[in-house]
Chains A and B, each alone.
Chain A
């Protein structure tokens, strides 16, 4: 046994401040219906959907090492679930939203044996193909409007302000719950294993981490989150089509946000989403320039800060806003420890060389 007195802490002064900042942000988010316009709420729903989707992609790719480009498959399944349960089975749309996540998770588990046979680039393409297959299948279901899609007419039964505030609060709730859940998860044993996988799959496996099982779990979780995003987003815009629901741009935006912000960090998707929407707003009137600048920004970040902007900041100043890291704090250590511990730097005897 060790004679060293110690304690383990995750909190730094900065991280405590960041947590309170997060609580304040959550309160502001929830208060928006009291003072915000419907246009602001609609815009905020979109921002929050992109942020949650980016968090999901980050969890799956950044931590689980699963470079999926088919997350839109589960956005679409979640979105269509709303139309099945609310439009065709008479369920209240707001209650059907969680079912969107559940259906997406079921779809993920059911198709995982197919895509998990593949690795690396093949896995990426495999997930993309899966999303395309889903799109084609839903294009051929005439109950759901086939290729041209349909409108969520049941929402007309709910009055306008209840509808707008309800959808807004559900989206805000999903964002807050997702942020909280990801934080708590990454602090747990599961998160420790996942972070190990992020850094080296081979080493994680040789340290007893069941890499395959953890990957499947994180893939299912990310799909559940993507399903929720699809459900709430299409409840907000009231219309769906297979091309919009299974649009590859869902995952393209997520990848952009996460890579720019900082892959494998919790702060990255938040920063990335802010940059993504700022660029979109700044360049909204410039047509093709929008895409050129987005591309240039992506290239610049990948070249100059391969770990993303937050990854660069973290490495440069050793910053960590969200309290994940376990810091070992030693107490009551005397100078005599150097003689008792096994040191083999040999620096005390360097003069002998």
Chain B
């Protein structure tokens, strides 16, 4: 499998705090990489470095063979990097349908309005939001906001989809349906990187795990082997797995 995204010795500090410490890893095309780590380990920072919200202090970030360090966030989206936020950021004054239209028209595919309409209806159906298409996004419940977050990220037609703690706060059934959806997205050829504290949800999707602690790589590899390693057990000690 070819490499879609790579971090080469990437570092980022906020003042004296090193949030990303000489981090290197690769994401291969078509895989689902799960990212684990204690709170404050620097997981979301990694996403911000990938999407362009933050610029690295050192190291190289490549996407599809291209060094993307100088690209602005909207160009990275158009290059094929989609993202859902940990705290959902819907366009509150727009309807659910219109929320998806933005990505469908400005994202990687640059569709016309007519093409975008069809694409959005398809995504609404897949994510179970069709009945709420005309509701203002600001009036949605937490669960629907999470669905919208996911649908909106898909609307940009990403090659790489970054999911930031989308399973948090869901019931078992809700999480199960979400896992099905993420697996379905992956089956359609989208590469996935998923940060998640709900470990069983992550293990149901991830083909590989990356564990980060204090901004550095603690472990990487086959999910079962990683979860069994002594280092990971120590970092996660006290947290039920």
Contact = CB atoms under 8 A, between A and B. Distances in A.
Contacts of B124: 328
Given A207-B77, A345-B174, A326 B130 contact: no
B122 A344 contact: no
Contacts, number: 142
Contacts of B127: 342
A264 B93 contact: yes
Grouping DSSP codes into helix (H, G, I), strand (E, B) and loop, the B interface class, with mixed when no group exceeds half, is helix
Contact of A207 (B103, B130, B184): B103
B101 A326 contact: yes
B98 A326 contact: yes
A200 B91 contact: yes
A344 B78 CA distance: 29
B143 interface: yes
Given A192-B98, A208-B103, A342 B181 contact: yes
B212 interface: no
A200 B177 contact: no
A210 B106 CA distance: 9
B63 interface: no
B97 A326 contact: yes
B207 interface: no
Nearest to A201: B89
Nearest to A353: B171
A342 B53 contact: no
B98 A207 contact: no
A239 interface: no
A279 B124 CA distance: 47
Which among B85, B125, B126, B177 has the greatest number of chain A C-beta atoms within 10 A? B125
Contacts of A342: 126-128, 177, 180-181, 184
A323 B9 CA distance: 52
A330 interface: yes
B87 to A, nearest CB: 11
Nearest to B134: A327
Nearest to A7: B117
A204 B173 contact: no
B121 A2 contact: yes
Given A206-B73, A342-B126, A342-B180, A328 B102 contact: no
A200 B78 CA distance: 18
Given A195-B93, A199-B91, A344 B83 contact: no
Contacts of A206: 51, 53, 73-74, 77, 83, 85
B95 interface: yes
Which among B74, B78, B95 has the greatest number of chain A C-beta atoms within 10 A? B74
Which among A196, A206, A212 has the greatest number of chain B C-beta atoms within 10 A? A206
Contacts of B85: 203, 206
Contacts of A199: 90-94
Contact of A345 (B92, B97, B98, B143): B143
Nearest to A210: B74
B156 A341 contact: no
A202 B77 CA distance: 12
Nearest to A349: B173
Contacts of B178: 344
Interface in B154-172: 155-156, 170-171
A330 B122 CA distance: 12
Which among A208, A264, A345 has the greatest number of chain B C-beta atoms within 10 A? A208
A298 to B, nearest CB: 22
A294 B169 CA distance: 46
B203 interface: no
B105 interface: yes
A346 interface: yes
B140 interface: no
B105 A189 contact: yes
Interface in B75-132: 77-78, 83, 85, 89-95, 97-98, 101-103, 105-108, 113, 117-118, 121-122, 124-128, 130
29 contacts: A2-B118, A4-B130, A189-B106, A192-B102, A195-B94, A196-B94, A199-B93, A203-B89, A203-B91, A203-B152, A206-B51, A206-B77, A206-B85, A208-B103, A208-B107, A208-B108, A208-B156, A210-B72, A325-B95, A326-B95, A326-B98, A327-B97, A327-B134, A328-B95, A328-B134, A342-B127, A344-B180, A344-B181, A346-B174
Interface of A: 1-2, 4, 6, 8, 189, 192-193, 195-196, 198-200, 202-212, 264, 325-328, 330, 337, 341-346, 349, 353
Which 3 pairs show the lowest CB-CB distances between chains A and B?
A344-B177, A346-B173, A208-B106
